Amino acid sequence: MTMNRNTLLIVDDMEVNRAILRNLFAKDFNILEAQNGEQGLMLLNQCCDRIAAVLLDIVMPVKDGYQMMAEMKSSGLLQTVPVIVITSEEAPEDEVRAFDSGATDIILRPFEACTVKRRVQNVIELNEHRQHQEDIIREQAVTLRNSTDALTDVLSSVIEHRSVETGQHVLRIRLFIRALLEDVMRSYPEYDLDERKIEVIARAATLHDIGKIAIPDAILNKPGPLTPEEMEIMKTHPAKGCEILNDLGRMHDKEYLQYAYNICRYHHERWDGSGYPEGLAMNNIPICAQAAGIADVYDALTTDRVYKKAYSPETASNMLLNGQCGIFAPRLLECFKKIREIFARIANEYADGHSPQIHFSKNHDPGINEPSFEINTLEFGQMKYFAMLRYENSTVMEVDMNSGVYHLVYKQNNDFDKLNPVGLFEASYLAFLQEAVHPDDRDLIQPVGYLEEFLKSGVMKKSRKYRVYHCTTGEYIWYEVTILRIYADIPNQHKILVVWRMCDKNAASPRKASNIACPVMDNSLLGIQKCLNDRWFTVIDINDGFTALLGYTRAEMEQVFHNRFTEIIYPEDREKVIREVREQQNKGNTYEIEYRVVTKDGKVLWILNKSQLYTDESGMDYISCMLIDITTEKKEQEKLRLALERHRIILDQSNDVIFELDMASNKLYYSRNWVKKFGYDPITDEINLRIPQSSHILPEDVQVFVHLLNRVSEGAPYVEAELRIANAEGRYIWCRIRATTQFDQDGQPVKAVGVILDIDREKRRTQNLIEKADRDGLTNLLNKEAAYRRIRSMLEDSQSAGAGAMLLIDLDNFKAVNDTYGHMFGDAVLIEAADQLQRQFRSEDIVARIGGDEFQVFINHIPSRDLLIRRAEKLVGVMQTMLQDTQRDVSLSCSVGLACYPHDASNYQDLFNCCDRALYMAKLLGKNQFAFYNEDTSNRVAEAAMQRSSMKRTRIESNESGDYEVAKLGEQAFQILYKTSEMEKTLPFVLKMWGQKLGVSRVSLFEGAGNGRTCSNTFEWCNEGISSQKENFQCIPYEEMDVCRESFDSKGVFYCADTSVLLKEQRRLLIPPDVRSMLQCALYNDGKFAGMVGFHDCSGRMWVQNEIDALILFSELLSTFLFKWREKERASQAKKGCPAEPCRR
C-alpha cells in the first residue's frame, strides 16, 4: 500500500549544498537533512514511509554515499525510496558505480535549478506510479493465490475421499503446522521463520499427499496391515506427488511450489534416517517437511482410519514423543510438548463431522493454583537445564577459549566468588587459583598447561581433583573438576564446560553438603526456619526468633497451616514469591527475596528472606531461611516511590521533556514525554559521539548542541540553547534546551538536569514576523537591510562563499513612467519587474529592492563568466519586452552593473562599490545594457559615480583626496593608552589629539554606568570657541536610549550630515543644540552595547569614508583600554567597601 510521501531527505556534509537544495524544494516538500550517511540511514529508517526521495552526495565523512546505498539495498529500502545522486564527481567510472549501487538518477554540480526540480519530480512521480502498479499486482496475486488455494483444497479433498478421509484433514494439517512453526519461530530464531513464511508453508502443506492419487484403491483403503510389497508401492506416493507438482512449474508463485515440493517429497523422512524415500537424516530434512511429518502423524493417530480407531490426544502425544511413529527432531518435539494442548484443541474443534465453531477449553484442577505467566519452549528448556544442575549440586562454567568469554552458569555456594567476571577467562581463573585453591595444588592446574593440554589432545572429557577454600568452614575441601568439550563433533571448536563437584579425596561420587549448609536453629535474634524445597515450602523447624517475629509457635504452624509456609505469605505475593525463588535457584544455591507476611495478630510485615538451598544424604532438597523484618525500610521506600510517582505524574501532565546528563557515563536520561513528543526512542549513550554524527538534530544546529555540552562540561552553572529536532513524521520542531549543572563536593561538574521546551509555534511565528519585516511591502522582494545582512553573512562564511556575482539593476527613465501614468501604474510596473527578476534567478539567489526603482541580486557559486553574461543579456531583454502587451505607449529598459566576487572585491562594501560603478558606466554608455566592473574604465568615472551614489543613496563614500593617515594616528594613540598608568588624565589628551587631527568641533565619550541602567557623558574635548556640554548629558536611562541605539548600523556607526532631520527624542538625548552634523560609533564590551564615542561639528560638514574608518579604529582602541581600566577601578572600590557611582561626572 503506497503511503503519503511528502518528505525529501537531503544527505550532504556541506551546509551550503543542503541550503541550496532546501531552498529549491522547501515550498513543495517537507525537508529532512543529514550531514553523513550514518545520520541519513537513521532518518530514513525512522521515516521511510514518508520519504519521497533521497538527494545524496557521494563524498562524506563517517559513511559515504556508496555505503549508504549498499545498506539501503541490503535492507530493501531501495525498492521503495529512489536515490538521486547530486555530486561534483564527473568521471564516467563514478557514474557507473553510482548506478550500479542503486541510484535512480545522477545530477552533476553545478546545475540549473529548474532542471533539478523537474528531474527530481519526474523520479518521484515514476516511483509513485511503480509503487501503485506493485500494489495492484499484489492485490491480483492475493486474488490468484486464493483461487489457487481453493483449487488445491478441492484436489486434496478428492484424494482424501479416495482414502476414506474427509476434507477436515487438510484444514487440520494446515492449523497444526502453523501452530508448531509459530512456536519454533519464537524459540529458535536460527530457522529464519516469520509469519509470512509460516503462512506459505501451511498453505503448501495442503498438497502433502497429492501423490496418493496414483496409489491403487485396494492398497490405499485396505483395512488391515500392508504386505511388504504393498508398502513399497505406498512409499512411491511422495515421488508421484513431486511429478505432479513438477507439471505445475508454470505457476508464478515459485516459493509456494518449492515448499509444496519439499513437503510432498520429504514429510515421511525421519530424524534418524529411517524414513523414506531418500533416507535423509537430521537437518538435511527441510524444516517445512519436518513440521508436516509431525502434523501428519498426529492427525493419523487421532482420527479413525480404515486400518485403526482413533487414539486419544494423550496417547497420540506419547507415541509421537517416544518414537513409536519414527524419530523426529528434538527441537520440534520440545515445541510440540509446549503446544500439545493446542494440537488437541484443533483435533477436537475440527474433528471429522464436527463444526469448526466448537470451542475446546482446558479443565483446570480447582485444587491447583497454577501460575498465570507463560514461558516459551526455549525458556522451558533452560528451566530443565537448571533443574538438572541443582540436582547435581555442582558449580558449572561455560568458556569460549578462543575469545576468553566465559559464563558462570550455576554456583553451588560462595567458594567460587573469585570467578566473578572481572576480565577475560585466563585472568579470572588465575585469580581464582591464587586466592581460592590450596597452594600445594596450584601448579597442577595452571590454565596455560592444563587447559591447553586438554584442548590439544582432542579428548572430550578430563577430570582432576584439588582443594578449594570453603567459605562456610574456613577450611580447604576437595572438589572434582571435570572439563567437557561442548561441541563433540567439532574438536577444533574450543568451547568447554567446567564442572566442580564436592568429593572425598579418594571417592569418585560427589559428597552432599548437609553438614555445612544449615545455620544454627537456636539463634533467637533472627527468625530462622528450615523447610522443604516443595511447592508450599513445608516447614520442618523454626527457632524462637521466628515465633517472636511472626507470633506462631511450632504447634500453631502445624495445626493452623499444616506447616505450609506459603499460607503465611501475603496472598498477593505468593505467586511472585514462588516464581522468584525458582528463578533465583536457577542461578545458585544462595539467594535473597523480599515479600510480605501476615503475623498472628493480623499485621502485614515486609520480610527480607536470605536463603540457602542444600541437599541431605538422602538426596532431599531443603531450604535454610533467615527472616529479617524490613517493614520500616519498606515504608520509607514507599514514601519515596509515591513522591517519585507524583513527580512523574506532574511531568506526564506537562508537554516538556525533562532530561538528566550523567557526565561520567556519557549518558542522557529522558522523561517519557520524549516518546510522546517525538515518536521514537532517543539516543541515550555515547552522546558525545553519536549525537554529533547521527542524531535527529538538524545538521546546522548540531554545533549548538555540542557547544551546550561543552559549556556544561566546563562547569557553566546554567546554559540555554535553541535548535531543531526531527519528529517521527519527519518534521523539524524548534526546541529550547535549558540545563542547570550539578557539582560534586570538590566543585567539579558531574550532572546536568534540564528541560526541553517546544517553542516551535512561537519560533515560527517570530520567523514569519522577521520574514515579513525583511520584505519590501510593494514587491515582496527582500528589502535593502535584509539583502545586506544575507549577502554579508554569505561572504563571511568561508564554507558558503564560492565564486559569486552582485548585480545592481536600475529601471531606465522610470520617473517618466510615474509622471505620465501615475504612481498606481508605476507600482504595477515595479511589481511586474520584481516578478520578472525572480523568474530569471534561482531560489537560493538573493533578489532585493533597495530603492525606488533599483534592485540588487547576488548569485553565489557561479560556474563561469559566460553564464553570468547570458543571465545579464536575458535580463536586459526581458525588461525591454515586459510592457509590450500593455495598451499604453510606454517602453521600459534597465541598466545593469555587475561585479564578481572575489575577483573584483572580497567584502560587501567594496563589492557594492564596484557594482555601483559598473552600473554608472552602463548608464553613461547609453542605458539599456549591462556593464562589468573594470578597473581601467572605472577610473574615468569614479568621481561621477561617487557623487551620484552619495546623492541617490545617501551612502558614505571614500574621499580619496583627504587621506588622514588613519593607521599612523591609531598606532600613536595605541602607544599612549598602552603605556599610561593614569587613564583619567590620558583620555582627555587622546580625545584632543583625534579631534584636532580630524578638525571637528567636539569629541564626546559616553559610558554605561556600573549599575547597567544609565549612560553618561564621562569625557569631552572641545575645540576653540566651542562650549562644553558634558554636564547636560548625565544619567540617561538605558530604556530611553533605545531610539538612539537603533540608529547605529551593522558596523556600529551612526552618521547624520544634518541633525535637523533627526527625531526630537534623539536630539534631546544625545545631540547638543549647537551641533549641525555628527558621526558616532558604538562601544561594545563582551558583545554588549556599553557606550559610544562621537565627533560633532557645529558648522555642518559631509563625512567621508576615511573619517568613518578613523572613528571605528578609535572606538576599538577605547573599548580595549577603557573597559579594562573601569573593571580595575570597580574592583578597587569594592575592595575598599565603596559602592560604584551610578553616574560619572
The enclosing domain of 84 has a CATH number of 3.40.50.2300
Confirm if 380 and 338 have CB atoms less than 8 A apart: yes
CB 914 within 8 A of CB 899: yes
Band the pLDDT of 808: cuts 50, 70, 90: very high
The closest alpha carbon to 852, from 778, 801, 947, belongs to 778
Between CA 940 and CA 1114 the distance in angstroms is: 34
Contacts 24+ apart (CB under 8 A), 114-117: 116/21, 116/24, 116/86, 117/24, 117/25
117-130 mean pLDDT: 87
**Do 922 and 791 belong together in one domain?**
yes
Residue 957 has pLDDT above 50, yes or no: no
Give the bridge partners for 1053, in sequence order: 1081
Q: Write the CA distances from 574 to 141, 567, 786, integer angstroms.
A: 54, 8, 73
- Whether 175 shows a pLDDT value over 90: the answer reads yes
Residue 839 domain flag = yes
Q: Is residue 151 part of a domain?
A: no
pLDDT reading at 516 higher than 50? no
Does 811 share its domain with 922? yes
User: Rounded to an integer, what distance in angstroms lies between the CA atom of residue 1060 and that of residue 1075?
Assistant: 9
Say if residue 819 is exposed, middle or buried (CB neighbours under 10 Å; 0-12, 13-18, 19+): exposed
Q: Which three cell numbers stand for residue 964?
A: 588622514
pLDDT tens column, 1005-1027: 988 876 667 888 889 999 888 88
The rounded distance, in Å, linking the Cα atoms of 1129 and 517 is: 79
Gap between the Cα atoms of 1097 and 1113, Å rounded: 19
Q: Containing domain of residue 623, as a range?
A: 517-636
Mean pLDDT across 215-228: 82
Of 919 and 952, the structure prediction assigns the larger pLDDT to 919
* Residue 628 · residue 608 · CB < 8 Å: yes
Q: Which grid coordinates belong to 725?
A: 529536532
CATH number, position 566:
3.30.450.20
**In this predicted structure, what is the pLDDT of residue 955?**
37
pLDDT at position 518 is: 46
- Give me the chain's average pLDDT, please: 80
Contact present, 173 and 296 (Cβ < 8 Å): yes
Measure the CA angle with vertex 596, ends 594 and 599; round to 5°. 135
- Residue 436 and residue 602: Cα distance in Å, rounded? 48
State yes or no: pLDDT of 1071 exceeds 90: no
Q: CB-based contacts of 819: which residues, under 8 Å, 6+ apart?
A: none
Instruction: Judge whether residue 531 has pLDDT over 70.
Output: yes
Q: Is the model's pLDDT at 365 over the cut of 60? A: no
Q: How many CA atoms lie within 13 A of 763 on its CB side?
A: 13
Residue corresponding to grid cell 501476615? 598
- What is the structure's pLDDT at 197? 92
Q: What is the pLDDT of residue 1138?
A: 59
* 143 touches 192 (CB < 8 A): no
C-beta separation of 25 from 52 below 8 A? no
757 and 780, same domain (yes or no): no
- Per residue in 313-322, pLDDT tens? 888 888 888 7
Q: Could you give the residue ranges of the DSSP H alpha helices within 303-376?
A: 313-321, 330-349
Phi, psi torsion values for 579, nearest 5 degrees: -65, -45
- pLDDT, tens digit, 9 for 90 and up, residues 767-788: 777 788 888 888 889 998 889 9
Q: How far is C-alpha 669 from the geometric centre of its chain's CA atoms?
A: 14
Decide if 1006 contacts 1092 (C-beta within 8 A).
yes
Note the pLDDT of residue 510.
Answer: 39
156: confidence class by pLDDT, cuts 50, 70, 90: low
Mean pLDDT for the stretch of residues 938-964? 41
Whether residue 865 is found in the same domain as residue 977: no
- State mean pLDDT over 645-654: 69
Q: In terms of Cα–Cα distance, which of 118, 126, 103 is closest to 54?
A: 103
Q: Residue 951 above 60 pLDDT?
A: no
Q: Are the C-beta atoms of 948 and 891 separated by less than 8 Å? A: no
Give 849-902 pLDDT, tens digit per residue.
Answer: 988 889 999 998 887 888 899 889 999 998 888 877 665 677 788 999 999 998
What cell was used for 174? 494446515
Look at residue 108 and give its three-state secondary structure: strand
Q: Give domain status of residue 144, yes or no.
A: no
On whether both 1111 and 999 belong to a single domain, the answer is yes
- The answer on 917 and 1041 residing in a single domain is no
- Rounded Cα distance, 455 and 1026, in Å: 105
Measured between alpha carbons, how far is 608 from 595 in angstroms, rounded to an integer?
7
279-303 pLDDT, tens per residue? 999 889 999 999 999 999 999 899 8
Contacts with 967 (C-beta within 8 Å, 6 or more apart), sequence order? none
- Do 113 and 256 reside in the same domain of the chain? no
Residues 877 and 761 in one domain: no
Per-residue pLDDT band for 597 (boundaries 50, 70, 90) equals very high
Residue 489 pLDDT exceeds 60: no
Inside any domain, residue 113: yes
- Backbone phi and psi for residue 733, each to the nearest 5 degrees, phi listed first: -115, 130
- Lowest mean pLDDT of 195-204, 208-217, 457-466, name the range: 457-466
Q: Which residue, chain included where needed, has cell 484443541? A: 345
When mean pLDDT is compared over 63-72, 650-659, 860-869, 941-950, the highest value belongs to: 63-72
Q: What is the CATH number of the domain that holds 1048?
A: 3.30.450.40
Task: Give the per-residue pLDDT at 1090.
Answer: 82
The pLDDT value recorded for residue 517 is: 42
pLDDT exceeds 70 at position 324: yes
In this prediction, residue 11 carries a pLDDT of 93
pTM: 0.48
Closest to 307 measured CA to CA, from 216, 220, 215, 214: 220
Residue 53 has pLDDT above 70, yes or no: yes
Q: Helix, strand, or coil here: 510?
A: strand
* Structural element, H or E, at residue 114: helix 113-162
On whether residue 294 sits in a domain, the answer given is yes
Give me the amino acid identity at 478: W
Residue 155 lies in a domain: no
HSE on the CB side for 567, CA within 13 Å?
Answer: 13
Least confident of 189-193, 597-601, 638-642: 638-642
Helices (H) and strands (E) in the chain, counts: 37, 31
- Give the C-alpha separation, 614 to 887, whole Å: 110
Which pLDDT belongs to residue 943? 46
pLDDT at residue 1075 in the model? 84
CA distance 766 to 775: 14
Assigned domain for 40 exists: yes
> What does each C-alpha distance from 434 to 236, 427, 505, 513, 709 come to in angstroms?
68, 11, 21, 25, 46
697 and 713, same domain (yes or no): yes
Bridge partners, 1020 (sequence order) = 1004
* Range of weakest confidence among 9-23, 649-663, 949-963: 949-963
Residue % of the chain over a pLDDT of 70: 82
Of residues 817 and 707, which shows the higher confidence score? 707
How many residues are given for the chain?
A: 1145
| Domain end marker among 707, 730, 765 | 765
> How many domains in the chain?
7
Whole-number pLDDT of residue 899: 93
- pLDDT, residue 467, reads 92
Query: Which of the 8 DSSP states describes residue 734?
Result: E
Q: Examine residue 381 and state whether it is found in any structural domain, yes or no.
A: no
The residue out of 466, 496, 511 marking a domain boundary is: 511
Same domain, 210 and 282: yes
My answer on whether 331 and 407 are in the same domain is no
**Average pLDDT, integer, range 554-565:** 90
Q: What is the CATH number of the domain that holds 261?
A: 1.10.3210.10
Rounded CA gap, 117 and 570, in Å?
Answer: 71
Q: Which pairing describes strands 657-662 and 749-758: parallel, antiparallel, or unpaired?
A: antiparallel
Q: What pairing do the DSSP bridges indicate for beta strands 105-108 and 83-87? A: parallel
CA gyration radius, the chain? 45
DSSP assigned state of 305: B
Give CA–CA dist 577/611, Å, rounded. Answer: 13
The more confident residue out of 225 and 54 is 54
Q: Which three cell numbers stand for residue 225?
A: 496391515
Q: Residue 146: what pLDDT?
A: 63
Beta bridge partners of 734: 724
Cell reading at 236: 512411491
Domain boundary among 511, 531, 546: 511
Domain shared by 502 and 600, yes or no: no
Pairing of strands 930-932, 893-901: parallel
Domain CATH for 891: 3.30.70.270
Residue 1060 has pLDDT above 70, yes or no: yes
Average pLDDT in the 965-976 region?
69
SS3 content of the chain, % helix, strand, coil (to 5): 50, 20, 30
